[in-house]
Amino acid sequence: MTLEVPRIDISSCTSDELVEALSKHSCVLLEKHGVGDATLQKMLTSWDTFFELPRAEKDKVKWPGEGPWYGWQPVSEDGPNADLMERFELRLEPDLKSPDQSAWADTFPLWPQNPPDFQESWQNRYFSLRDLTSRIMIMIAEGIGREDLDMTAWTDDQHSNLVANHYYAQPEAPRAGRWRATPHTDIGAITLLWADHAPGGLEVAINEGKDWVPVLIPDDCWLLQIGDLLTLWTGGKIPANPHRVANPPRDQASAARRSIVYFHHPRLDVTVTPPDGDPEKALSAEAYILKRQGEDYAQATAAE
């Protein structure tokens, strides 16, 4: 039997059906999601141009090194075990939210000036995925019986990042044990992922975490994955999804790989509690994000 990530029509499925699929597999392919592809090629083209810029240009919009990640990050340089990639990360602060989406996007301090159309395509994608994650969170709340809660912190005030990952071509074989992306679960509530079909791709654990399977995301789908904070918030009913990005086969190692990721978190000042309300299990969203960032850096810099 061939194991596959299940497909869900998010436009017509019930909350119970979505939660049931996520409870078993921790990830699903979403179809009929309503996120148009009109700006996708513009976004891909703009970031290809950006990633090809000289180092001095990219350094102008580099993450300053404090607080949750944003801006350009040459991840592979963090240490001998760091993931073999670079990324750019857009984060808009909920406290600066404006009814005018362009005005809100203008508050982001690290927009690249080259290429000149970078901001427009990115902000359009950010807002469409923000709307989709809000819909998904309402459905999950209904499906697990937490629909009576005020969901504002998980929807209108969510803390979320739109990320472009550029996984390098590998003309030389990487050291054994080093990945394009090390096996992990995501920090936040839910993740939406699009990726091209370049070799050396995504692998996820499904079937209650028993089986690792490769995933080619169809052009009409986004992959929905569960993160650690949602697992806590559901009292373990929906598990976080372990995943990794493999290195390409040596005969196909000349190709780079691209993915778009939308990381959804609750508002940073929220204390995430399980359904039983046990204060011993509660976590500060911001503290947990920073803790995981620190752990990732410690792993990347560990001695070989």
What is the domain-level CATH number for residue 289?
2.60.120.330
Q: Is residue 79 part of a domain?
A: yes
| Spatial separation of the C-alpha atoms in residues 146 and 161, rounded to whole Å | 25
pLDDT at position 108 is 98
Q: Is residue 30 part of a domain?
A: yes
Distance set, CA 162 to CA 4, 106, 285 (Å) = 26, 15, 18
Strand partners, 62: 72
| Residue from 158, 125, 100, 148 nearest 44 by CA | 125
Considering Cα of 63, then 74, then 268, then 162, what sign does the dihedral take?
positive
* Burial degree of 112 (CB within 10 A; 0-12, 13-18, 19+): buried
pLDDT tens digits, residue range 234-279?
A: 999 999 999 999 999 999 999 999 999 999 999 999 999 999 999 9
pLDDT at position 38 is 78
- Which 3 state secondary structure label does DSSP give 194? strand
CB 121 within 8 A of CB 42: yes
Q: Is residue 2 part of a domain?
A: no
| Spatial separation of the C-alpha atoms in residues 113 and 50, rounded to whole Å | 9
pLDDT at position 1 is 53
Q: Is residue 239 part of a domain?
A: yes
Q: Is residue 84 part of a domain?
A: yes
Q: What residue numbers bound the domain in which 198 lies? A: 7-301
Strand partners, 31: 9, 221
pLDDT at position 76 is 96
Q: Is residue 269 part of a domain?
A: yes
Give the pairing of strands 181-184 and 283-284: unpaired
Q: Is residue 1 part of a domain?
A: no
pTM above 0.75, yes or no: yes
Residue 170: how many other CB atoms lie within 10 Å: 20
| Residue that has been written with the tokens 């309503």 in this structure | 34
| Residue that has been written with the tokens 């000036």 in this structure | 113
* Burial degree of 231 (CB within 10 A; 0-12, 13-18, 19+): buried
Distance set, CA 245 to CA 14, 184, 201, 293 (Å) = 31, 10, 5, 18
Q: Which residues of the chain have pLDDT under 50?
A: none
Q: Is residue 121 part of a domain?
A: yes
pLDDT at position 36 is 82
CA 128 to chain centre: 14
* Number of structural domains found in the chain: 1
Q: What is the Cα Rg of the chain in Å? A: 19
Considering Cα of 17, then 270, then 278, then 240, what sign does the dihedral take?
positive
